Structure 1
């Protein structure tokens, strides 16, 4: 779906940034800090950048108007401290280390890295150190944190992979890639604004998942105990809520397969294609709203303890006699099908005049 022109084989050139231990929560305002050390490194376009840091890392592109900067990587260390001698640089042909000689580094320290376009960038931080990437275009971006938050804004790549043990993941603007994978642990959540991809994989432990707009050929959302809210969702979607959690979808068009152990489902769908299904294996309920329901509802099979169907469809479908749980069928051309099963709960199928916004 997306390809980066002029891709070349990346040589295994390694540059590593190491900084001393500190404790963090959110990225401080760089304008309020002192630029205590700057390092510039001339690199070629095939360089892979590896950053390992226990302090906040912010990566942004070079100034495109500065012709002398197109083959340079610049690293600036910001701190409340003023003594540049606190920092030293070690460099070899394959390694670049930025060391902080302080034994108690300030928690507000930030390393700002400006990189040329079309690089592979991998960032790993420890403890609460956060990672912020903005307005970058490259072959691959990989981010791993422990407790630190990850914020990504306007990124384009072939592959994007973000994984954090306890930190929150937020994407702003548009993230665009062939493959995107986002993962958090414990109670941390994932919040995305606009996603365009071939493959979009999102998973949390107990944290919420929220996506404002998703144009992915194939999307897969998984959580153990979190709630999922998806708006303006398109194409082929898999959803797994393994133990408990609620699913809220507004503005869906495509094919969906959702599986919940227990929870509630609310979905506003304009078009359901191929064989779509919603299964709640234990107790729960499903509320499905469809505009112009006679024309947009595919062939439908409903199974639940309690079933409520819009009058327009009720007249055209039928309840199966003496079945428990209840069964309702709406016959139509079998090209598209919808199956909803909630044996220990309820299904409410109705027409809506809510507009579908792409």
Structure 2
């Protein structure tokens, strides 16, 4: 999808003592804080940056109009205090380390870092410290937090990976990458705006998953107990609800494989390709709306306690005699197929004139 950039090898570590519990639920406005420390270092083009921090981290690109900044990394520490941090810097040809001796910090401390383009950037925060990253282009961006929120926007890379044990993950603008992997634990949600990738993976435990648009070649959404609200999905999509959760899809075109242990599913689709399938293994309900159903519905098999089908499809299909649960079959050229199974529930298959939005 993108031409590979050269390998990046420089190390950068920001190591700060762990803190007791502090609320880092939102990033403070930098305009209300003081710059208490600034560090500027010249770095190679072959650079990997590693940041470890117990305070908020915000990563932005350098000013492209500043020629002198193209090979420099600049870090500003913001705080309400006047002298809260004392950085020590060690640098070799392949490694840059930033140490902070300060033993106390609060939710108003923010580390703002401006980095050159086309780097590898890894950010790890502890406790409730959040990570904000935007308008960057590089080879790889990896973010890990404990309870802190992650917010990324307008990122382009070969690889993007975000993981939080308990913190919310939010993307704004467009994420464009060969691979994108987003993961949260406990009840933390994941919310995405626009995704463009070859491979896109989203995993939560009990948190909701929300996507406004996804143009990934292959997408995989997994949750144990969270609900999913997915709009404008394209190409090949796999969805797994391991225990219980509801699934809502608006504007689907491509191949779908959805598996829910239990829950309700609604889908508005324009076109279903190859062998698409929906399985609810225990109790649930499936409602599928197909745009211009006579034209776009593929060969279809439905299995459920209760089956309701659009009248025009009902006339062209047939129910299997004396079958339990009920079985309905709509024959068509076998190029594409749709199988829906909800043995302990109902299936509604309807036409819709709702416009399909790309």
Same fold (TM > 0.5): yes
CA distance in 1, matches of 2:106, 2:346: 55
CA distance in 2, matches of 1:255, 1:175: 22
Q: Counterpart in 2 of 1:121?
A: 121
Q: Counterpart in 2 of 1:35?
A: 35
Deviation string, structure 1 residues 106-157 (Cα, Å, up to 9, x no partner): 2210000000000000000000000000000000000000000000000000
Q: 1:173 to 1:149 in 2, by over 3 A?
A: same
Q: Is the 8 A contact 1:229 1:249 kept in 2?
A: yes
3-state SS of 1:354 partner: coil
Pair 1:14-2:21 in alignment: no
Q: Counterpart in 2 of 1:318?
A: 318
Pair 1:191-2:191 in alignment: yes
CA distance in 2, matches of 1:186, 1:151: 18
Q: Counterpart in 1 of 2:155?
A: 155
Q: Counterpart in 1 of 2:327?
A: 327
Q: Is the 8 A contact 1:21 1:105 kept in 2?
A: no
Deviation string, structure 1 residues 299-347 (Cα, Å, up to 9, x no partner): 0000000000000100100111111100000000000000000000000
Question: Which runs of 5 or more structure 1 residues have no equivalent in the other structure?
Answer: none
3-state SS of 2:294 partner: helix
Q: Counterpart in 2 of 1:139?
A: 139
Pair 1:4-2:19 in alignment: no
User: Could you tell me the TM-score, scaled by structure 2's length?
Assistant: 0.97
Q: Counterpart in 1 of 2:206?
A: 206
Q: Is the 8 A contact 2:76 2:111 kept in 1?
A: yes
Pair 1:97-2:98 in alignment: yes
Cα root mean square deviation, aligned: 1.0
Question: Which runs of 5 or more structure 2 residues have no equivalent in the other structure?
Answer: none
Deviation string, structure 1 residues 142-180 (Cα, Å, up to 9, x no partner): 000000000000000000000000000000000000000
How far apart are residue 9 of structure 1 and its match? 2.5
Q: Is the 8 A contact 1:226 1:244 kept in 2?
A: yes
Deviation string, structure 1 residues 241-300 (Cα, Å, up to 9, x no partner): 000000000000000000000000000000000000000000000000011100000000
CA distance in 2, matches of 1:31, 1:17: 23
How far apart are residue 90 of structure 1 and its match? 2.6
3-state SS of 1:138 partner: strand
User: Could you tell me the TM-score, scaled by structure 1's length?
Assistant: 0.97
Q: Is the 8 A contact 2:38 2:76 kept in 1?
A: yes
CA distance in 2, matches of 1:292, 1:83: 67
CA distance in 2, matches of 1:209, 1:297: 27
CA distance in 2, matches of 1:175, 1:88: 33
Q: Is the 8 A contact 1:47 1:120 kept in 2?
A: yes
How far apart are residue 98 of structure 1 and its match? 3.3
Pair 1:62-2:59 in alignment: no
Q: Is the 8 A contact 2:11 2:48 kept in 1?
A: yes
How far apart are residue 100 of structure 1 and its match? 4.1
* Count of aligned positions: 353
